[in-house]
Structure 1
């Protein structure tokens, strides 16, 4: 038989119509779609002439490759045909399309949210023009063999950098810490957060000036306001040249207004900047190189290398301190701005990371959640493969090559992914407000950013290729002879009992990821609760802290205390230098009997009035507490248990401790350890000092019966009497302590959210597979019911496979989760244990969710009347 001469497509169609008889001509004249294939399968003529038919199409192959019925004449028409077929398949199988599109939409929405969050973290501080050349000056000190890293430095360090290494820096800027100060103009008096900084600060921070110039700080009595602070004080009035009062003492003139700094910077919330010279007169005359109280920022000059400059200034402080201070081996270094936010943790002098760990963690979670959605698409596409098998067989028989079929299935995948992305965008918009509240962010979709759309396009293509890769390669690999045999559709197509292994493996992967996320979420919240339940060693309930903003409070403290106690809502009043929940002041240079001469010590210190210990209810283990009736207690120390162990004292009460040039103090008592810093860290050695003059907070303990709202009103009345100028501000100690868990709680909440979505996506896929399995086994179920099988037996029969897969996933997830969570917990000195029941609860939860997911479809199939399911037989 001679090969047929290539003819135009219409002639080829007519030949096919003639060969299959005229009663099919009308359908062949149109597009060859699935309905046509099903019609072919139903005709006895098709079955009888199958072998000869295939031989005829073999002779048509040279023609078909060039002018196939299924391959339009131009590439654009070809892809248009692919998308048309894909679109029709979507609407023909609405349930499966909903699962595919919905699952991918949720997965893409999660990936978008995590992408926005991660980008916000990565781009932190990039607002500044010289971001890559700005650094914070930090220092290391060695205490008893352990290196401690501080971000505070002596005030003398800035001038020394300018004098000795001036050519290496464009700017050297000394700064106070960002704190609340009272600003006043006319009758308006508000507390705003701001800094005292040197004149180079506006250029260093690339301030965008609304009015005035960046040189405004050259005037020693000037102030620069942020736009929001200027609006609060002056409204629409021009603020330039206006007089203001700072902290009720300093008169300053507004010389500039700058745009508010973004939330994604370390200087967010800086409402004003005023000259450093205004701060200097209030500093003690004795402050020197040994007092690290301030910050110093630098901008490295071009073309100097930041690491090289950091190495050059290493010994700057050591060269300016005395021999005693040099024993602590001070080393100065530059910490680049690009690492401030993500790499802010130091351990033993080494930068060990920080938020970067969570960025990578959520990035991995985002990839896995999207992968789960892609697995749904793969599983449902391959599980329902016999519905496309006839189409593939005929396309191959008349000349379609495998690459064309792969292109078609990838086109359908991209169409579904594109629809999912279009659905994901409004989902993200809908949940962003709540997500921002949980994550403490100000994220939004950058609609006008070209890079966003370019990345989105790449995201769509990558997801489409990932989701469609397995179905495209699997479906395009069918052998047309085996597919078109007619009687052996299922047996020849699925390749035996091992054909379902890939789908089962993907289901196991889905639930392995989901169960791991569930276990991780449980451990995170357990660690948070473990730290919250840690005994504080004191009672912070009803403890209010009021900052002292005027010397009038110090001068009339006793009268203030008496009036507060007379209100009837106050149990006790005491002053401290810092909050008991955030003791950050450390001191060294202590000497005691038996101390190793080579030991370099460091203690946390807390200065207070004698009533403080009684007020918070600490426990005195040895000796006695401070007493206002014993004047010599101003030369006495109280130690915590950690300090006694650190000093190696067997009988600490009565021991003499010399504190450098401050004199000799006597230990009068030992108190139980207090948690005054991180709730996750071990207790540090601590010394309590009776020093009423060096205090900055008034601590008020409310009575148990007091109603907070009414009590605060009474407190405000008394404080306003002695400080009528400043606004009454306060903090509850327990609320301040609760903020220490904020970061972990946000991470835990986000992790639980993503774990829930991962389970949802996995269950969507499981629901689709259960529906498909029930559909395929409809006749089997009918026969079993006729033979007497009960609904419960059929439910068990159809659910067993899925339960087995989830059990395998739990067995894989348990050691994986244990390994990674054990490593994560090692970062906390005070940490919970990995109890077995957490893994059991997670596994049991996954099994219950699986049974609930598949039960609807299995019970529905089991309840079908066998008469209906066996009607065609």
Structure 2
């Protein structure tokens, strides 16, 4: 019987090829989106789920709050580990410090590795919290002594190629030219997905032989560094309220006078292991992979759901509309003894066959979608993940749900026909069924309309962000960074002198970060105005006396500091207003207190945006290289060009790189950063959202218009004799087309009226994240509404004009 059901189902599908194709396309698009997005959700949600007692593992993080706002740091003060390690609520406390050596050498084979990443200083407790498999070495003894290291299997293969793990034990590696460290263990890299990507584990006492010695000998409670990480495993009976109270007590006990003076607060928090992969406030350890976003995954899941619903709605609409065409088949089946249950089974079988066919096409399409949506797809996610038993089971469940959602109502409608009425040709289409089709059509076009409006408004905001004047020169400006290990200024000065011989270069400056970057350098500052003291947080950018010229920053009053090391400030307008100065000239000559030292203001520059336009302009000062006697804060050479044409830029950049290689002959660490590209990276997420909306809009319009086309085909086929009569009676082509289009265009117009407030509410909420935003232009709503009506009119007219042009003799010839 089941075989017979599927045979009849296949015949019906082939008989109604157009409707079947529309259903397959709609379901394929929805299922493809669901498959790929489901794969992403599965991939990201399975990070670090394999650790033993993972629900008891936490990272301790630090939250800061001040009058200027809230800040987050994944690190803690170095003093915290010692203060809590004997607390009974913690089973194990394991701190580690992230460091990147300049180079690592294996003298035995004369190999050298520059700037290896994922290196940490830690102790045995780290391996008590995370259960690594040791391939060589004694787990109970490793990292107990200074100058020892545990390598991952992958890193060991890099340093000691073609050697077995057991043969590597006892070998020596030389770090930063002088630190001899013995390999005491080799661990297997985690096979499962993890954010703990570390490859080298150096014993913690070894850190006292590095540049970090003083930091660890004189641990400062008020110094928080993201490199200083603390992982804890709480006891099974842990009292989390007691843990938080202990954290709060430690904060109060060690709160500095400056923190009290400037109303700054700090709090230590426990971050669950499962939260690390998603929480953008604190980040992950491999920034190159990008942070997963729960909100982005949620938005993607909603897009997949909507596209799937649109496909299901097409199926329901077309199958209920076609009900009358299968009425006689149903009547004969009932007369021959078929039960309603058997008929429902027959129609559900047809639905499943279409859904199954769509799923096969969706799997093929998914491989292509993974490449198209590479901006959204996490690194490491591959098509082979579909082989996972859980994914296969999820796909089967999804197909069953879609089959029921798409086919159950049409099956009920079709199986409900009365056999006697059908065979007497007394069948009439119920008003409720017609209304349902109208409601579903309005729902489809409402979703499509929301996507269109959102696409236009998000695109308008992104264009506003990228085109708005940042307050400084962004085109034809590059920053060339010196090698990471270089702390002296002499080579930078030689490099600058050689660069001056390149005629295409307009201005050159040695400094720290450019005016807009992801880095922040801040300090507390105060200004005494009579009896009133104004305290605020002040950001710094460092540059020489030519810094303003390179970035064309406008000096409103005063001058630039006299030389690169003198302690003088050039402040921005916002800082001047914060201190109460009505004009830039008033600020000149006033003193600011920084670290209990009076520093004079010698200049005021115009405001510019230090970050993306999501944030307000903050108080800022341009300063020189104040700590040059200990270390130079000037790590980049900023260059502006005379000619901005692409060909000239390419030629000039090649010369700049050649000069760099002639000065820094011993390194290949050439890093160049374009100012306009940096600004674009501020809005990576917004551009991803825009791309997502573009695809969602296109697909939703496609599915909705295909569904509309199906309904138009059905309607015109039913009214073919009416059209013939009207033509015979003198109706024009335009009149007939208007008659047939009117009903559907009313539905599209209703959808626009429903969609507009929904889209306005969503976009208005999204824009609240931006300190600077474009206006929500209502003309865009009208444009989107007209565009949707135009799409619908093209689809409707394509069929109605064909029907209206048909010879009425052919339609009126047969009864």
| Matched residue, 2:35 | 112
CA distance in 1, matches of 2:402, 2:763: 29
Deviation at 1:849, TM superposition (A): 1.6
**Cα distance in structure 2, aligned partners of 1:755 and 1:711:** 42
8 Å Cα contact 2:313-2:406 kept in structure 1 = yes
Give the 3 Å change call, closer, same or farther, for CA 749–298 of structure 1 in structure 2: same
Structure 1 match to 2:293: 355
Q: Deviations over 1:191-236 (max 9, x none)?
A: 4433433234455555566666777655644555566666666554
| TM-score for both structures, normalised by structure 2 | 0.87
1:841 to 1:794, Cα distance in 2 relative to 1, 3 A = same
The equivalent position to 1:819 in structure 2, one of 761, 766, 769, is: 761
CA shift for structure 1 position 306: 7.9
Pairing of 1:404-803 with structure 2 (within 5 A): 404-437=342-375, 439=377, 441-445=379-383, 446-486=385-425, 488=426, 492-495=427-430, 499-540=433-474, 541-551=476-486, 553-582=488-517, 584-594=519-529, 601-628=536-563, 634-650=566-582, 651-661=586-596, 663-691=597-625, 693=628, 694-695=632-633, 697-705=635-643, 707-734=648-675, 735-803=677-745
Shift of 1:381: 0.3
Correspondence for 2:16 among 71, 93, 104: 93
Identify the range of structure 1 (703-712 vs 85-94) with the bigger mean alpha-carbon deviation: 703-712
8 Å contact kept, 1:158–1:174: no
Q: Is the 8 A contact 2:142 2:150 kept in 1?
A: yes
Question: Relative to structure 1, is the Cα distance of residues 271 and 606 closer, same or farther in structure 2, using a 3 angstrom cutoff?
Answer: farther
Matched, 1:334 2:270: yes
Alignment partner of 2:229 out of 274, 292, 296: 296
CA displacement at 1:145 relative to structure 2: 7.6
Kindly state the Cα deviation for residue 464 of structure 1 after the two structures are TM-superposed. 0.6
Report the CA distance shift for 1:601/1:334 in structure 2 as closer, same or farther (over 3 A): farther
**Secondary structure of 1:176's aligned partner:** strand
Distance 1:263 1:369, change over 3 A: farther
Give 1:543 shift: 1.6
Matches of 1:533 and 1:792 in 2, distance apart?
Answer: 46
8 A contact 1:222–1:253 mirrored in 2:
yes
> Aligned residue for 1:83?
6
Change (3 A) 1:265 1:731: farther
| Structure 2 Cα separation of the partners of residues 774 and 180 of structure 1 | 75
Corresponding position of 1:173: 95
Measure how far apart 1:455 and its partner are. Answer: 1.1
- Residues of 2 paired with 1:763 and 1:530: CA distance? 32
- Local SS of the residue matching 1:867: helix
| Structure 1 residues 273 and 454: alpha-carbon distance in aligned structure 2, compared to 1, 3 A threshold | same
Give the unaligned 5+ runs of structure 1.
1-76, 347-352
* Unpaired runs of at least 5, structure 2: 283-290
Alpha-carbon contact 1:143-1:599 (below 8 Å) kept = no
SS of residue paired to 1:141 = strand
SS at match of 1:494: coil
Matches within 5 A, 1:107-146: 107-126=30-49, 128-129=51-52, 131-144=54-67, 146=69
Question: Could you give the per-residue CA deviations for residues 300-347 of structure 1, whole angstroms, max 9, x where no partner exists?
Answer: 23315484434432232332243333452322222223223434359x
Contact 1:345–1:354 (8 Å) recurs in 2: no
* Alpha-carbon shift at residue 502 of structure 1 (Å): 1.1
Q: 1:441 to 1:865 in 2, by over 3 A?
A: farther
Q: Is the 8 A contact 1:138 1:333 kept in 2?
A: yes
* 1:104/1:370 contact within 8 Å kept: yes
Q: CA deviation at 1:513?
A: 0.6
Q: Is the 8 A contact 1:532 1:679 kept in 2?
A: no
Distance 2:278 2:783 in 1: 34
Distance in 2, Cα, partners of 1:856 & 1:211: 73
**CA-CA distance at 1:97 after TM superposition:** 1.4
Partner of 1:48: none
Cα 1:701/1:267, change in 2 over 3 Å? farther
1:406 positional shift? 2.6
* 8 Å contact kept, 1:536–1:674: yes
CA 379–552 in structure 1, closer or farther in 2 if over 3 Å, else same: closer
With normalisation by structure 1, the TM-score equals 0.81
Larger Rg computed on CA atoms: 1
Aligned-pair CA distance for 1:384: 0.6
The reply on whether 1:861 has 2:797 as its aligned counterpart is no
Q: Distance in 2 between matches of 1:747 and 1:710?
A: 35
SS of 1:291's partner is coil
Separation in 2 of the partners of 1:535 and 1:277? 51
Q: Structure 1's 846 and 277: CA in aligned 2 closer, same or farther, altered over 3 A? A: farther
SS in 2 for 1:854: helix
Residue deviations 1:358-391, cap 9 Å, x none?
A: 2222222211110100001001101010112122
Residues 145, 544 of structure 1: alpha-carbon distance in 2 compared, 3 angstrom cutoff:
closer
User: What's the secondary structure of 1:335's corresponding residue?
Assistant: strand
Is 1:103 aligned to residue 61 of structure 2?
no
Whether contact under 8 Å (1:553, 1:722) holds in the other structure is: no
Structure-2 change in CA distance of 1:182 and 1:533 (3 Å): farther
Aligned residue in 1 for 2:211: 282
Aligned counterpart, 2:122: 198
The residue aligned with 2:84 is 161
Question: CA separation in 2, counterparts of 1:768 and 1:278?
Answer: 73
State the secondary structure of the residue aligned to 1:461: helix
State the 1:753 CA deviation: 1.3
Q: CA deviation at 1:716?
A: 4.0
1:835 Cα deviation from its structure 2 partner? 1.1
Residue aligned with 1:173, SS: strand
d(CA) in 1 for partners of 2:490, 2:576? 35
C-alpha deviations, 1:630-660, integer Å up to 9, x for none? x7x6221121222222233342211111112
Where 2:96 maps in the other structure, the secondary structure is strand
The structural deviation recorded for 1:841 is 2.1
Deviations 1:388-416 (A, max 9, x none): 21222333345444333333322322222
1:219-257 Cα shifts (integer Å, max 9, x gaps): 644555566666666554568366555455655555566
- Match of 2:253, SS? coil
* Deviates further, 798-807 or 102-111: 798-807
SS of 2:737's partner is helix
Among 240, 246, 257, the residue aligned to 1:312: 246
After TM superposition, the structure 1 stretch with the greater mean CA deviation from structure 2, 465-474 or 391-400, is 391-400
8 A Cα contact 1:546 1:729, kept in partner: yes
Change (3 A) 1:552 1:311: closer
